[in-house]
Amino acid sequence: MSSKENDMKSDELPRTLRERAIDLLVKNPGKTFTAKELCEILEVESESEIYAVLKQVARILRRKGIDLVFSQPVCKKCGFVMSKMYAKKCPRCKSEWIEPARFMVR
Ligand SMILES: [Zn+2]
């Protein structure tokens, strides 16, 4: 089991969204979540907030030797695979019919 020495700076603060996201992902290895699902579970209103947090989460987990991986978003109209974790529109055909990225730890 891993050590936890630096996990907490203060135990008076409520847990941050970042900590709750890490907790959720680490406790469900192999399970995939879209940003939308994470919004619902973590009670966040905007998906863009989730994406911002996931970038920080990926860095933190990497230091612990855990990989946060995601499937790249795919355009459901033309099949174009996006290189970023988030795209609102397909850069090729401009369709907004996008299969979103799914995140998980493994
Ligand atoms: Zn497309």
Question: HEC states along 11-39?
Answer: CCCCCCHHHHHHHHHHHCCCCCEEHHHHH
List pLDDT tens digits, range 5-64: 455 554 556 789 999 999 999 999 999 999 999 999 999 999 999 999 999 999 999 999
The number of distinct structural domains making up the chain is 1
> How many whole angstroms from 76 Cα to the centroid of ligand 1?
7
> How many whole angstroms from 89 Cα to the centroid of ligand 1?
8
Domain that holds residue 99: 17-105
Tell me if 72 is assigned to some domain.
Answer: yes
d(CA 83, CA 71): 10
Tell me if 4 is assigned to some domain.
Answer: no
> How many whole angstroms from 42 Cα to the centroid of ligand 1?
30
> How many whole angstroms from 88 Cα to the centroid of ligand 1?
11
Tell me if 98 is assigned to some domain.
Answer: yes
Q: How confident is the model at residue 98 (pLDDT cuts 50, 70, 90)?
A: very high
Question: What's the CATH number where 57 sits?
Answer: 1.10.10
